[in-house]
Amino acid sequence: MRIGELARRAGVSTRALRYYEEQGLLRPERRPSGYRDYGEQALATVRRIQLLLSAGLGTAVIAEILPCVPDDTTVLAPTCPELLDGLAEERARITAAMQRLAAARDILDSLIATGAPDPPAVRRDGAACRRAGAGQEM
DNA sequence: CTTCTAACA
DNA sequence: TGTTAGAA
């Protein structure tokens, strides 16, 4: 199948499919026309890539994991031991990130609790108060 | 009409 | 990632 069909069936953009290829996650064949030609198994592969991406893994890690997984598996079957170690490390990174975010939230909580603007927000410089968080990209 | 590459937002 | 130009 060509890229458009795979994109529709997998629910991803053609842009993503070309990107996965660039990252070494997919290796479609080429037709004489230069068009990419994907096999049926590509659909399962893309689904696995999506699953791993949603697990927070980077394309580099996924590129290592994919070849360890049997093509016929619905999702991810029990895999190689060294792979499990890598996944455990990823889990640890997520745990660490959660703790950093929790710490950041605690600081914001204290700032919010402290600044009860009963006496209307008065600023000596008379400048306008900007809304905190504006332009935050999350 | 579909895809390709490359590049910009 | 989305999008787009220009070519096939």
pLDDT of residue A74: 61
Contact A53, A43 (CB under 8 A): no
pLDDT of residue A72: 62
What single DSSP character describes residue A54? H
State whether the beta carbon of A12 lies below 7 angstroms from any atom of strand C: yes
Is A128 a member of any domain? no
Task: Indicate the burial class of A50 (C-beta count within 10 angstroms; 0-12, 13-18, 19 or more).
Answer: middle
pLDDT tens sequence for chain A (138 residues) = 999 999 999 999 999 999 999 999 999 999 999 999 999 999 999 999 999 999 988 898 899 888 777 666 666 666 678 788 888 888 999 999 999 999 999 999 999 998 776 666 667 777 777 777 766 555
Is A31 a member of any domain? yes
pLDDT of residue A35: 97
* C1’ B3 / CA A4, Å: 9
Is A130 a member of any domain? no
Is A124 a member of any domain? no
Task: Give the total number of structural domains in chain A.
Answer: 1
Is A101 a member of any domain? yes
* C1’ B6 / CA A22, Å: 14
Distance from C-alpha of A132 to C-alpha of A100, rounded to nearest angstrom? 20
Contact A38, A28 (CB under 8 A): yes
pLDDT of residue A31: 96
Is A50 a member of any domain? yes
The CATH number of the domain holding residue A76 is 1.10.1660.10
pLDDT of residue A6: 98
Within chain A, residue ranges assigned H as helices are 3-10, 14-22, 41-54, 59-65, 81-114
Is A135 a member of any domain? no
The dihedral sign for the CA sequence A44, A49, A54, A56: positive
Question: Residue A101's domain spans which residues?
Answer: 3-114
Is A125 a member of any domain? no
Which residues of chain A between 23 and 82 are close to nucleic strand B, CB under 7 A? 34-36
